[in-house]
């Protein structure tokens, strides 16, 4: 972890700086319920300083003017430093937000490294500059860095989402102010140490943890050109409204209520491991989790038997224990929210198949039993609203059209799955589902493909070459034919 004295400071202008006030954010362990650290709660003055540093670095510094290859070299050094401190970073994330250490090592840190590598692989192939000829004119079309980026990241995958935003922004030539979530700030201190070791110019990345009011000040700051936010749909609506007043560019990756559609010929030996990995992942706290299990009525009884066995077998406990599969949710308030939805499900008439309470023998920590509801109807709140905890609902269908209708009967459209032994049929069904990503038989899309949502799940895309689009402004130059030929000779 970053030296403890750093926790009293903010990372601004390439150095550790004293905050403007004595206000603190307490980072509390969701397992022990004890305070892990107290870090500065950034103030408006701190945001002003951070934005000013990013603005200076963009307007007058070397970073946007470096060749792409030189920016890539800096990001490669970041990848090397991250790999060297992989275990340390995984442990920090597990401590601050409760992710099981086995998943922190894979999704939270190894996943972040693979993401960084994918952007480095894609960057040289992105169309940063191209010559276009037509009978109406000749143009040089470039993609210029959008400017100063406010990157607002959530607590559930703090490092992964940080890199999801910063890496394409930095490769594009942008500078940034990173705003970590109050629940998970400690990894950002370690990340700042890694940045310092890369040789990144001062002011290119600045880090200011802050509460909601100051966060709103950041996303409306006149020195910010672009806001990239990952979090709840409610918060995303607020940010979109604030940015809309100034026509500030904004990318939003928001909530989900994704459906796993299990057709009547599905192989349950494929389905169950996928549900275990992609429905209850991160203690149920992942926006892309498949939390609506939409199953053919002819297979429902068999699925429920196997789902009960699988969920009941999950090891719940200390996130630092490599055998733990489900840890605590991030906060006391989050546990109250999840437990509230479990009670709502009961009142609505759904039945608890397994779970529904707090795990026995775990009197300390913000734990919720992994829970499965049956007899869930599409109109129920537990089928429509994002719970963000280890809670699944099973909905039955009689034919394929009904399955697609249930999957699409949602205000969200982030993710989904289709399970069938016929991959071509799976693709045909997936094409009918209105969501940004659909996994066929649990096959994930990887980091070279765009992710993002339809409907209330967001605006814009991240990952893949499309991930660069969020951080550039296309610019066109009218050219005489001779210059067009010089820049891109005709073949």
User: Are residues 198 and 262 located together in one domain of the fold?
Assistant: no
**Catalytic annotation present for 183:** no
Residue 486 lies in a domain: no
Angle, nearest 10°, between helix axes 68-84 and 86-97?
70
User: In terms of domains, do 194 and 70 share one?
Assistant: yes
Query: Do 324 and 240 sit in the same domain of this protein?
Result: no
Cα atoms in the 13 Å half-sphere on the side-chain side of 358: 14
User: CA dihedral defined by 267, 272, 273, 277, rounded to 10 degrees?
Assistant: 130
Q: Are residues 15 and 137 in the same domain?
A: yes
The verdict on 215 and 282 lying in the same domain is no
Domain total of the chain = 2
Q: Which of 96, 99, 243, 253 is catalytic?
A: 253
Quote the CA–CA distance of 262 and 42 in Å, as a whole number. 47
- Rounded to the nearest 5 degrees, what angle is found at the Cα of 75, between the Cα atoms of 223 and 15? 55
> What is the CATH classification number for the domain harbouring 268?
3.40.309.10
Report yes or no on 276 lying in a domain: yes
Claim to verify: residue 398 and residue 340 sit in the same structural domain? yes
What CA–CA distance (Å, rounded) separates 331 from 422? 42
- Give pLDDT, residue 2: 43
Q: How far apart are the first and last CA of the chain?
A: 55
Residue 192 lies in a domain: yes
Residue 447 included in any domain: no
User: Do residue 334 and residue 467 come from a single domain?
Assistant: no
Inside any domain, residue 446: no
The residue from 396, 415, 440 where one domain ends is: 440
Chunked mean pLDDT (size 10), the chain, 491 residues: 67 97 97 97 98 98 98 98 97 98 96 97 98 96 98 98 98 98 97 94 98 96 98 96 96 98 98 96 97 98 97 97 98 98 98 97 97 98 98 98 98 98 98 98 97 97 98 98 92 65
Residue 445 lies in a domain: no
> Do residues 161 and 229 both lie within one domain?
yes
CATH code assigned at 180: 3.40.605.10
Element (H, E) at 94: helix 86-97
Same domain, 404 and 435: yes
Check residue 3 and give its pLDDT: 42
- 176: its two tokens: 């940034």
Q: What are phi and psi of 353, to 5 degrees?
A: -80, -40
Q: What is the pLDDT of residue 489?
A: 85
Q: Per the domain annotation, does 291 fall within a domain? A: yes
Whether residues 352 and 430 fall in one domain: yes
Same domain, 275 and 241: no
Q: Which long-range contacts (CB under 8 A, 24 or more apart) does 335-338 make?
A: 335/366, 335/367, 335/368, 335/389, 337/387, 337/388, 337/389, 338/284, 338/368, 338/387, 338/388, 338/389, 338/390, 338/391
Q: Is 243 a catalytic residue?
A: no
Using CA atoms, how far apart are residues 112 and 166, in angstroms rounded to an integer? Answer: 12
Q: Is residue 393 part of a domain?
A: yes
Q: What is the pLDDT of residue 326?
A: 98
Whether 462 and 428 map to the same domain: the answer is: no
* Helical segments of 104-184, H only: 111-122, 158-172
pLDDT digits (tens, 9 = 90+) for 402-442: 999 999 999 999 999 999 999 999 999 999 999 999 999 99
pLDDT of residue 490: 82
Domain span at 327 = 258-440
Average pLDDT, the chain: 96
Q: Which of 99, 243, 287, 463 is catalytic?
A: 287
């Amino acid at each position: 972890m970053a030296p403890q004295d750093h926790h009293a400071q903010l990372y601004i202008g390439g150095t550790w700086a004293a905050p403007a006030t004595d206000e603190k954010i307490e980072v509390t362990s969701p397992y022990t319920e004890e305070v892990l650290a107290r870090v500065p709660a950034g103030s408006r003055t701190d945001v002003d300083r951070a934005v000013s540093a990013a603005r200076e670095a963009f307007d007058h510094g070397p970073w946007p003017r470096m060749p792409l290859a030189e920016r890539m070299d800096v990001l490669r050094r970041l990848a090397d430093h991250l790999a060297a401190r992989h275990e340390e970073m995984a442990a920090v994330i597990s401590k601050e937000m409760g992710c099981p250490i086995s998943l922190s090592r894979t999704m939270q840190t190894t996943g972040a490294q693979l993401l960084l590598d994918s952007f480095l692989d894609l960057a040289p192939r992105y169309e940063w500059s191209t010559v276009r000829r037509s009978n109406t004119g000749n143009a040089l079309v470039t993609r210029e860095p959008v400017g100063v980026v406010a990157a607002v990241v959530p607590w559930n995958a703090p490092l992964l989402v940080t890199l999801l935003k910063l890496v394409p922004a930095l490769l594009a030539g942008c500078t940034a102010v990173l705003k970590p979530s109050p629940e998970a700030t400690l990894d950002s201190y370690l990340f700042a140490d890694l940045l310092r070791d890369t040789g990144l110019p001062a002011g290119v990345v600045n880090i200011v943890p802050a509460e909601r009011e100051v966060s709103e000040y950041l996303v409306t700051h006149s020195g910010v050109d672009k806001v990239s936010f990952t979090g709840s749909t409610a918060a995303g609506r607020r940010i979109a409204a604030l940015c809309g007043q100034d026509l500030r560019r904004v990318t939003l990756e928001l909530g989900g209520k994704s459906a796993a559609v299990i057709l009547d010929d599905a192989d349950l030996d494929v389905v169950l491991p996928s549900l275990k990995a992609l429905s209850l992942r991160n203690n149920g706290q992942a926006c892309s989790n498949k939390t609506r299990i939409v199953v053919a009525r002819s297979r429902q009884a068999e699925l429920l038997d196997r789902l009960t066995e699988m969920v009941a077998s999950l090891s719940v406990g200390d996130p630092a224990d490599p055998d733990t599969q489900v840890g605590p949710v991030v906060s006391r308030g989050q546990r109250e929210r999840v437990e509230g939805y479990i009670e709502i499900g009961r009142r609505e008439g759904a039945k608890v198949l397994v779970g529904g309470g707090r795990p026995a023998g775990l009197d300390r920590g913000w734990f919720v039993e992994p829970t499965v509801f049956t007899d869930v109807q599409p109109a129920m709140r537990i089928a429509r609203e994002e719970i963000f905890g280890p809670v699944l609902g099973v909905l039955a269908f009689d034919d394929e059209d009904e399955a697609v209708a249930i999957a699409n009967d949602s205000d969200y459209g982030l993710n989904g799955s289709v399970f069938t032994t016929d991959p071509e049929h799976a693709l045909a069904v997936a094409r009918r589902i209105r969501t940004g990503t659909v996994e066929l038989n649990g096959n994930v899309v990887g980091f070279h493909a765009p992710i993002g949502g339809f409907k209330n799940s967001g605006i814009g895309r991240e990952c893949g070459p499309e991930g660069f689009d969020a951080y550039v402004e296309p610019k066109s130059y009218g050219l005489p034919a001779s210059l067009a030929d010089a820049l891109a000779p005709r073949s």
